[in-house]
Structure 1
Amino acid sequence: MTKRLSIDAALVVKNAAVIRQSILDAFEEDDTISLDLVDDQAVDLCGLQLIESARRQARAVGKTLVLERPAAGFRSVLDAAGFLTDAPSDDLQFWFHEGSAQ
């Protein structure tokens, strides 16, 4: 079963602790978490790092973190932060639900 976690707060440094705790709490309830993010959600590097860190930690302990829908609105921030430089297909699948960067 998958736990759906809606995050409507901006993915920025000032909200990182609350969002982090929400993700940790969700993983206590289920092994797969689907993050439901708002289409025009504000995001900064800290927000991206939080999601990526949660994704990697989940994978390390046999759990799964997915995005409910592509994070197309984050593309410019992901690119500026270097997340898309030589990104493997699993990263592109995670962020954009696609096989390659456009």
Structure 2
Amino acid sequence: MRRVLVDAALVVRNVAGLRQSILDAFEEDDAVTLDLVEDQAVDLCGVQLIEAARRQAQAVGKTLSLAHPGEAFRPVLEAAGFLTEASEDDLRFWFHEGSVQ
């Protein structure tokens, strides 16, 4: 499993760098864990990048996970509608609800 430390804010100006870090990590391993810092600033672009990376990984048989629950993301996820009818997989990914990641 490849771990990617994400210590920059997950905002529009930083997503290109994070995107490249995720792509590079998937070239080295089929399982990537994002290690996010506590109280990290996040906007919709940051959430969309992570969700797109998660879906793409699943589509090609790879795994993206979060090292820690993304509770700080909850307000953005709710405002953007990501939690409306969220599946068990969604809740497990973002908040580690129902299982340990």
With structure 2 as the length reference, what TM-score do the two structures score? Answer: 0.95
Partner of 1:19: 18
Post-superposition Cα deviations, 1:12-44, rounded to whole Å, max 9, x if no partner, equal: 110011000000000000000010001110000
Instruction: Quote the offset at 1:76 in angstroms.
Output: 0.8
Name 1:58's counterpart in structure 2: 57
* Cα-Cα RMSD: 0.6
Q: Identity percentage over the alignment?
A: 71
Match of 2:95 in 1: 96
Deviation at 1:66, TM superposition (A): 0.3
User: What TM-score does the superposition give when structure 1 sets the normalisation length?
Assistant: 0.94
Q: Equivalents in 1 of 2:60, 2:85: separation in Å?
A: 26
Q: Structure 1 segments of 4 or more deviating over 6 A?
A: none
Give the AA of the match of 1:55. Answer: R
Aligned-partner Cα distance in 1 for 2:56–2:7 = 22
In structure 1, stretches of 5+ residues that fail to align are none
User: Structure 2 stretches of 5 or more lacking a match?
Assistant: none
| 1:42-100, Cα deviation, whole Å (9 max, x unpaired) | 0000000000000000001110000001001111111011010010110000000004x
**Is the partner of 2:10 in helix, strand or coil?**
coil
